[in-house]
Structure 1
Amino acid sequence: MLGLFSRRQRQWFKVAIDVAITSTALLAAFAIRLGTFPPPDPVVILWILPLVLGTRLPAFAWLGLYRENLARPGGGMPLRVLTGEAFSLLAVSAPLFLFQPPGFPRSVVVIEAALSTALLIAGREVMTAVLMSRLRRSRRREPVIIYGAGNAGVQLAGTMGQDANQEFWPVCFVDDDPVKQGGRIDGLEVVAPEAMSAVCERYGVKRVLLAIPSLPGWKRRSLIERLVAQGLSVSSVPNLIDLVSGRLPLSKVGEVGAGDLLNREEVPPDEDLLRAEAAGRSVLVTGAGGSIGSELCRQIAALGPKVLVLYEISEPALYQIELELAQRFPDLRLAAVLGSVLDQERLTAALRAHEVESVFHAAAYKHVPIVEQNPLPGLWNNVVGTWRAAEAALRAGVSSFVLISTDKAVRPTSVMGASKRAAELACLLVGSRAAELAQCEGRSAPRFTMVRFGNVLDSAGSVVPLFRRQIDAGGPVTVTHPDVTRYFMTVQEAAQLVLQAGAMGKGGEVFLLEMGEPVRIADLARSMIDLTLAATGRRIEIRYTGLRPGEKLHEELLIDSSACEPSAHPKIFRAREAAPAPAAIGERLHELEQALIAQDLPAVLEVLKELVPDYSPAGAVEDCAVTGRSGLSFEPRQPASAPRVAVGP
C-alpha cells in the first residue's frame, strides 16, 4: 500500500507514526509513575511533549531512520533508534534536572524513553514483516543481494525500486570496500562479503546480482566461483562494453554468460585504431546478419561511418540486423543488400554504387561437422566466395579488405579448416596482384589482411548456447572428449580485432589476439552447470561422446610461431607466414573451382591437399547429398575415453 505514495509522503507517514508512539509512551509513563490516568495536571504534557519531539525527531532524521525503506531496513535499525533515544533523553533530562519544575516527576522522561524505544523498534519490525510478506505474496518478487555498491549497483537498485513489475527485490548491497561497509545507500545497508550468509538466511536469498560491469575477467570468475560455492545463483548486469555502447540497459539483468567464466581479462581496444577504418568511411560487411558480422555492424555503426552496407544472403538475418541498427542509430545511412559473395558482379556493383572504402568479409560456413558432410558447398562458399569477394573489392577500388579466418585453418584436419586456409591464400593472391597493379600505376595498393579467431563465445553453433539449452532441459550435457581444449574470445573482442587489424594491416599479414591459455571444454561445462544449479540442489550428467568428424583435440593459432611479431596494440600480434608463390596459388584455385563446378569430390580433395599441404583429414570425407548417409554431425570419429560424470551441488 505504501508503494502508492511518493517518497516524501512515506517519510511524513513514518514521522506521524513516531509522534503517535511518543505521545502514547509519554501518557503511559505518567500513568505508571503516578498510578493514575490522566495525570493530575494535563498542561504538563502540552509543554513536555513538544520538548521530547523537538529533540527526538531531528535525531532520528539525522540518523537516517526516515530515509530507509521499511521493507528492507537492514540490521542497524535498532541501534539507530537507541542512539536517537539516548540523545533525546539527555537533551530533555538536562534542563529538567537543572530547573526541577514543580509537580513534574523527572523519572517520567526515563520511563517514556524506555517505553518509546521498545515500541518504536517493535513497530518498525512489525511493519517490516508485514511489508515483506505482502511483497512476497502480491508481487512474488525474489529477494536478491546486489554485489557492488558502485554506480552500477546503485542505479540498478533505483531502477528496481521504481519498477513495480521487477521480478527482483534487493535486500542489501555487498561490497569489498571497507569505507562503504556499514553505511546505507537509498535505504539499503552495505555489508561486507563475510556477512552474506547471515543476510541470506534472514531474507531467504538464493540469488546474487553481480553489478560490477568493469570487473576484470579473472577476478569476475573467481568471485562467481566463490558465490556458487555458497549455494547461490549468480545473475549479472551487462558488461561495460554493452553499457557504453548502449546495446543493453543497466536494468537488463541476465544469467552470467560464459564470458564471465574466462580466466583472463577482456582485451581493451585502441580507440584510435577502432575509428581509423570506420569513422566517416563507407564500409561494407559481408555476412552482416551472422554472429560476427552483426556484432561488427553494431560496432561500426557506433563509430559513425559515412554509410554502412549490409551484404547478406539470408533475408531474415538481413531484416533483423537492418531493423536493429535503424532503431538504434536513426541518423545512420544504411544499405541492406541481399546477395551472395559468389555473385561477383552484384557485389562489385554494390561496392561501386556506395563508394565503399573498407570491406570486412565475415560471410562463411563455419560449423565443422556440417561442412565436413557437405564439403562441396562448404568449399564453394568459403574458398571461391572469398576469392570472388576479394576480386570484387580489387575491381571496385576499395582501400582495405579484411578476411575473418579461424584457428582451425592451422594444420587443418577438417574441410572447414582447410577451406579457411585456402581462403587466406586466395586473399594473398589478390593482394599480390593489387600490389603489382598499384606499382605499375604509381599509387598506393589496397591492403588485403587476415584475422584469425579462436572460438567466439555465444556465437551461433558454439558450445555455450548448446550447453545452456542442455542444462535448461535437465541434461545431459554432451562434451566430445574430456581433454579437448579451445581458445575463446568474446564476440566484442572478435569484432574489435577485425576493426583494429584493418587499421594496422599493410597487406598479407595474419592478425591474432592474445587469448591466454586454451580452455578445457569439460571445465567450461562444469562451471556452467555449477552456476546454473547452485541454488537448486539438482545434478546434471556430463556425457562424453567422442570427437566428431574433422574435430581436433587442441587448436593452434599459428603455422609458424617464429613468424609472430608485435603490432601497434600490445595484445594483438601479426604474422607473415610462408605461403606458395602467387602463381601456384592461382593455378590451384582455378583447378579447385573447375573441380567444384564438376561436382568431382575426389578431384576437389586432391587439389585441396595440393593447395593446403598441411591438411590431413582424420578419415574419409563424404558428401551426404551423394552417399545418402545420415547423422554424420553427431557420429563420433573416435569413442569417448571417459565415463559419464554427474555435476551439481
Structure 2
Amino acid sequence: MHISSIPPEYMHAFIKFAPIYTIFSLFVFHILRLYNSLWQFASFDELNRIIISSIFTTLFQVAFMTILMMRMPISYYVFGAFLQFAMIVGIRFSYRYINLERNRRYNNQAAIHNVMIIGAGAAGKTILREMRNSQGMSGKACCVIDDNPNKWDRTMEGVPVVGGRDSIMNAVKTYNIDRIMFAIPSASTEDKRDILNICKETKCELKSLPGIYQLANGEVSLSKMKDVNVEDLLERDPIKVDMCEVFKQLTDKTILVTGGGGSIGSELCRQIAAHNPKQLIIFDIYENNAYAIQQELVRKYGNKLNLVTLIGSVRDSRRLDMIFDKYRPDIVYHAAAHKHVPLMETSPNEAIKNNVVGTYKVAYMALKYDVERFVLISTDKAVNPTNIMGASKRLCEMVIQSMERISENNDFDSLPLLHDHRKDGLKDVHPKTSRTKFVAVRFGNVLGSNGSVIPLFKKQIAEGGPVTVTHPDIIRYFMTISEAVSLVLQAGTYAKGGEIFVLDMGSPVKIDTLARNLIKLSGYEPDVDIPIVYTGLRSGEKLYEEKLMKEEGLKKTANELIFIGQPIPFDMDNFFRNLEDLSQASYQNSDDIVERVEKVVSTFHPVGAHPTGKEKIYQN
C-alpha cells in the first residue's frame, strides 16, 4: 500500500490528531511507569502495564478522533492499536531476550560444574531459571530428577526431566554430573534422607534448600542453597515441639541464660528472643561469644528486645547475687559448663569448680530469689560416667534434685554454705520460702556445636585428611542444636520439679559411619581421596553412651519423643556433706579429687584408673 493511495481526508485528519495522541500517550506511559522500568528485567508485570496503556490510548483515539476530526475506518483503529502494542513489546522484550541469551551462552561456556536438579516443582524451576539467566553462574543444569512419572521425558526451562530417584546414579554417569542440588523444600524427612543417601554415593558435591518456609516467603534462590549436612542423614524424624505452649511460658518473663554465648546457650537465646520475653539476660565468662550473640540479636530485633548482656563467672557468688537481686529472673536456663571430656580429664578440679560448684551457686540464687523454674543442661555422659566431665554433670543433676526437695519441703536449713560461699561474704542468706521448680534436661551429642566431631571432621577434610576417629566401633546419640534447645524449652513447660527429661534420639550412630558420610557429602571417597585413621579411645571415653541409668526407668510426656527419668533416691544430707568436701578439695587443687567423686557418684567408674586410685592424668 502506498501513502498516496490513502484518501486525503484520512491523511489530513491523522496528521492533525497525531500530536494530541502523542502527548496523551506519553502521559499514560508516564502514569503507568513504563519509562521507569529496566528493559533488561522486563517481566509479566510490565507486559500487563503495556496492555493497559494500549487499551487506554486506543479508546482515547477512537473517541477523540471521531469527535474532533472524523470517523476513521475500523481497520485504522485495530491495525494502529496492534502495531503500537507490538512495537512497544518487541523493543523492550527483545532487549531482555538478547541479554538472557547472551548470559545463557556465557554461563554454558564458563560453567565448571555439570548440575543435576532434584525436584521438578516450583523451587526447582526457580533454581533452573536463575542458573540460566543470571550472569556468573559456575554450573550448567544438565538434567532434572523427580519421582512424579507424569513429568518424565519432558523438559523444564529447557532441561530434561530424566526420571525418579532410581535414575540418579545413571544420570550422574550419563551427564557427567559433579554437583547435585536438592530443591524439594516440602519433602518429608524420610524422603529427603533416602534421596540424599543415594546422592552421597555419587561423589558429587551436594547442595540443598533448608526448608519449606522459603517457598512461603519467596526466598527460593541459588544464594539460599546450602551444603548438605550430615544432620540431614540422621535416621529419625526431627523432634516436634509445641511452640504455642513454649510461647505461653516465655512471654513477658525475665529469663537468664548462663553460658549464653556457647553453642546451646546462644541457640537458647535466639529461640527465647523470638517469644517476646520481658527481658533476656545473657551471662557468660567469655566476652567474645557473649558479644557475638548480643550483636546478632540486636541486628535482628533492635529495640523490640529488652536485652542485657553480662560478663561473669558462675563461680562468683557475689556477682551472681548482684545479678539476681537486680534483675529478678523468672526462669533460669543453666548452660554454663566445662564440657570437653579430654580437657577435663587432665583438669578434674576445674570440672568440679565450674560444673558442680557453679551449678550449686546458680541454683542457690534461684532458691534465694524465688525463681519460677530452673532448667539444667545435662548430658548422656552423666549416665554411668567413665570420665570426670560426665561424673561432674551427674553431680549437677544430684544438686538439682536436692534443691527441688528443699524447695518442695521448705527445708532451707539443710542447705550448705560451701567454703568459698562463706568466703564471698554470703553467710546466713538462706531463703525462707521458695516456689522454684528444678529440672534437668539430658541429651546426647549436639551436631555442629563447639568441640563436636563435625567441625573437626570438616576441617580435616578441607585440609585433605586424614580424618581421625578414635575407634571403628564407637557409637553416639546425636541431635541438632535446634532440637536440643527445643527439648530444653519444652522441658520447662512440663516441669513439676525434680525431673530429668530425656529425648528419644532414635538409633545411635557410629562415628566411623558419620565420618565416611561427611567425606562422601564433600564429594570425596573415604580411604581413597581422604584417609580415615583410628587413633584409639581417649582417656575417660567409652564406646557407647547411655540415656538413662538402669535404675531410673521411663515415664511418658505429651511429646512422644520426650521422656522423664525417675529420680534415683540418695541421702541428701550425706550428699551435701560430700559436696562441701568436694568443693573445698577442688579449690585446694587436690590430687585425689577423682577418688572423692567416685565415693559420691556410685555409678562413676573411671576408665584406665590406677588400682591405687591415683594416676598422673588426674593431677592438675
Under a length normalisation based on structure 2, what TM-score does the superposition of the two structures give? 0.75
Is 1:447–1:505's contact at 8 Å kept on the other side of the alignment? Answer: yes
1:222 pairs with 2:257: no
Counterpart of 1:452 in structure 2 is 442
Is 1:348–1:393's contact at 8 Å kept on the other side of the alignment? Answer: no
Give % identity: 38
1:608 pairs with 2:597: yes
Report the secondary structure of 1:209's partner residue.
Answer: strand
Relative to structure 1, is the Cα distance of residues 200 and 563 closer, same or farther in structure 2, using a 3 angstrom cutoff?
closer
Among candidates 585, 592, 607, match of residue 582 of structure 2: 592
1:517 pairs with 2:507: yes
**CA displacement, residues 134-154 of structure 1 (integer Å, 9 cap, x when unaligned):** 21455x563423212345444
Is 1:438–1:444's contact at 8 Å kept on the other side of the alignment? Answer: no
Shift, 1:568, TM fit: 1.6
Counterpart of 2:55 in structure 1 is none
The amino acid of 1:363's aligned partner reads A
Give the whole-Å Cα distance in 1 for the aligned partners of 2:392 and 2:219.
33
**CA displacement, residues 237-276 of structure 1 (integer Å, 9 cap, x when unaligned):** 2245899999999833222111012111111111233223
Counterpart of 2:249 in structure 1 is 277
Report the secondary structure of 1:176's partner residue.
Answer: coil
Report the secondary structure of 2:313's partner residue.
Answer: coil
1:504 pairs with 2:477: no
Give the whole-Å Cα distance in 2 for the aligned partners of 1:250 and 1:135.
15
When the two chains are superposed, the root-mean-square deviation of aligned CA atoms in Å is 3.8
Higher mean Cα deviation, 145-154 or 445-454? 145-154
Report the secondary structure of 2:297's partner residue.
Answer: helix
Give the whole-Å Cα distance in 1 for the aligned partners of 2:156 and 2:363.
57
Is 1:376–1:623's contact at 8 Å kept on the other side of the alignment? Answer: no
Give the whole-Å Cα distance in 2 for the aligned partners of 1:625 and 1:482.
27
Higher mean Cα deviation, 147-156 or 511-520? 147-156
Under a length normalisation based on structure 1, what TM-score does the superposition of the two structures give? 0.72
Counterpart of 1:487 in structure 2 is 477
Counterpart of 1:466 in structure 2 is 456
Counterpart of 1:387 in structure 2 is 360
Relative to structure 1, is the Cα distance of residues 251 and 348 closer, same or farther in structure 2, using a 3 angstrom cutoff?
farther
1:412 pairs with 2:447: no
Shift, 1:230, TM fit: 3.5
Is 2:257–2:334's contact at 8 Å kept on the other side of the alignment? Answer: yes
Among candidates 579, 584, 603, match of residue 569 of structure 2: 579
Is 1:567–1:573's contact at 8 Å kept on the other side of the alignment? Answer: yes
The amino acid of 1:423's aligned partner reads C
1:253 pairs with 2:248: no
Alignment of 1:114-125 (within 5 A): none
Counterpart of 1:369 in structure 2 is 342
Higher mean Cα deviation, 283-292 or 531-540? 531-540
The amino acid of 1:355's aligned partner reads R
The amino acid of 1:432's aligned partner reads R
Among candidates 324, 329, 332, match of residue 356 of structure 1: 329
Give the whole-Å Cα distance in 2 for the aligned partners of 1:438 and 1:250.
61
Relative to structure 1, is the Cα distance of residues 178 and 243 closer, same or farther in structure 2, using a 3 angstrom cutoff?
closer
Among candidates 416, 421, 428, match of residue 401 of structure 2: 428
1:619 pairs with 2:608: yes
Which ranges in structure 2 are unaligned for 5 or more consecutive residues?
1-37, 48-78, 87-93, 414-430
Report the secondary structure of 1:456's partner residue.
Answer: strand
1:6 pairs with 2:48: no
Give the whole-Å Cα distance in 2 for the aligned partners of 1:346 and 1:249.
48
Report the secondary structure of 1:452's partner residue.
Answer: strand
Counterpart of 2:76 in structure 1 is none
Higher mean Cα deviation, 491-500 or 347-356? 347-356
**CA displacement, residues 95-150 of structure 1 (integer Å, 9 cap, x when unaligned):** xxxxxxxxxxxxxxxxxxxxxxxxxxxxxxxx7xx865521455x56342321234
1:559 pairs with 2:549: yes
1:288 pairs with 2:278: no
Counterpart of 2:416 in structure 1 is none
- Number of corresponding residues: 518
Give the whole-Å Cα distance in 2 for the aligned partners of 1:278 and 1:600.
42
Give the whole-Å Cα distance in 1 for the aligned partners of 2:194 and 2:490.
30
Give the whole-Å Cα distance in 1 for the aligned partners of 2:618 and 2:250.
42
Relative to structure 1, is the Cα distance of residues 537 and 614 closer, same or farther in structure 2, using a 3 angstrom cutoff?
closer
1:542 pairs with 2:532: yes
Report the secondary structure of 2:256's partner residue.
Answer: strand
Give the whole-Å Cα distance in 1 for the aligned partners of 2:214 and 2:230.
15
Report the secondary structure of 2:149's partner residue.
Answer: coil
1:339 pairs with 2:312: yes
The amino acid of 1:259's aligned partner reads E
The amino acid of 2:505's aligned partner reads M
1:235 pairs with 2:207: yes
Is 2:445–2:452's contact at 8 Å kept on the other side of the alignment? Answer: yes
The amino acid of 2:467's aligned partner reads V
